[in-house]
Amino acid sequence: MANPKKMTEQQIAEVAELLENAELNAQDVVKVTDKYPDMSFSEALDVQWAIRARKEARGTRIVGMKMGLTSWAKMAQMGVDKPCYGFLADYFSVPQGGEIKMEELIHPKVEAEIAFMMDKELSGPGCHVGDVLAATDFIVPAVEIIDSRYENFKFDLPSVIADNSSSCRFVIGGRPLPVDSIDMRTTGVVMEKNGAVVELGAGAAVLGNPAASVAMLVNMLAERGEVLPAGSFVMTGGITAAVAVEAGDSIVVRYQHLGDVTMKFV
């Protein structure tokens, strides 16, 4: 058998509870592959989907999905060589210009991303950029706040997948635009922390075109028999390396054509 199942349902459920509690209590934990060194990608996804089910059982709505590690800057920063996905829960959403409480998080970092709102369902395998463009309602600039639940923000790919790809908050700002109104590949972004430029890049950093990230997500979901529902909000992954923040920091990310996304850490 190519990939025998080594973890029991009980172990998947225990790891999901551990990681979800780490998120809810803002308390870091050792990475799960320390205990389960042979955890497969599919087992890691079982844990992520179990965390999602725990939240949904409590009435939390899943509002969309995020892709992670889709740019070389991010892969190099984290020492991981493949993209991953996670889900976005309703309470992750922070209004433009809003305050993000450090006491609710462990060691957050911010990422400049281009996000998509989908108006049609997409399913794989075989989903491509053309399908994504045809199914998109609008694109909008967004900043993701990631917060690995692992000590020192250090992990391997199975561990980060199990931990919902470090998802914790996001801010939608700027202005929505039709997907064909700009060339996302050459759309520039400038990230400022407390008024100083800390990172810059362009959309093509994300798999050549952020729309390719949505297509990859759809094809990864298809491997589990899942689709990307109409109405999903999708974050396509950090264009630049992620930037660590602390209480008192103000972040402004300026996007060519799409406007600014701002937030403050308190």
Residues that bind Mg ion (CB under 5 A): 68, 111, 144, 238
Q: Looking at beta carbons only, is 15 or 205 nearer to ligand OOG? A: 205
Per-residue mark of binding to ligand OOG, 225-254 (x: CB under 6 A): ------------xx----------------
Q: Is the dihedral of CA 182, 178, 213, 92 positive or negative?
A: positive
CB of 123 to ligand OOG, least distance (A): 23
Written as one string, the DSSP assignment of 36-94 is -TT--HHHHHHHHHHHHHHHHHTTPPEEEEEEES-BHHHHHHHT--S-EEEEEEGGGEE
Question: CA 84 to CA 220: how far, in whole Å?
Answer: 9
Taking CB under 6 A as the criterion, the residue among 64, 68, 158, 203 binding ligand OOG is 68
Q: Are strands 233-235 and 62-68 parallel, antiparallel or unpaired?
A: parallel
CB of 237 to Mg ion, least distance (A): 5
Question: For residues 167-186, which are near ligand OOG according to CB under 6 A?
Answer: none
* Helices marked H in 68-209: 72-78, 129-134, 157-162
Question: For residues 100-129, which are near ligand OOG according to CB under 6 A?
Answer: 111
Q: Is 48 in the site for ligand OOG (CB under 6 A)?
A: no
Six-digit token string for 156: 């391997």
Contacts of 190 (CB under 8 A, 6+ apart): 197, 199, 200, 253, 254
Q: By CB under 6 A, which span of 63-71, 127-135, 193-201, 225-233 interacts with ligand OOG?
A: 63-71
State the Cα angle at 5 between 167 and 33, rounded to 5°: 45
Binding residues for ligand OOG, total number by CB under 6 A: 15
Taking CB under 6 A as the criterion, the residue among 65, 89, 127, 146 binding ligand OOG is 146
Report which of 210, 244, 206, 197 is spatially closest to residue 72, judged by C-alpha positions: 206
Q: Looking at beta carbons only, is 43 or 113 nearer to ligand OOG? A: 113
22 bridge partner residues: none
CB of 88 to Mg ion, least distance (A): 10
Question: For residues 18-47, which are near ligand OOG according to CB under 6 A?
Answer: none
Residues found near ligand OOG in the complex (CB under 6 A):
66, 68-70, 74, 78, 111, 144, 146, 148, 160, 165-166, 237-238
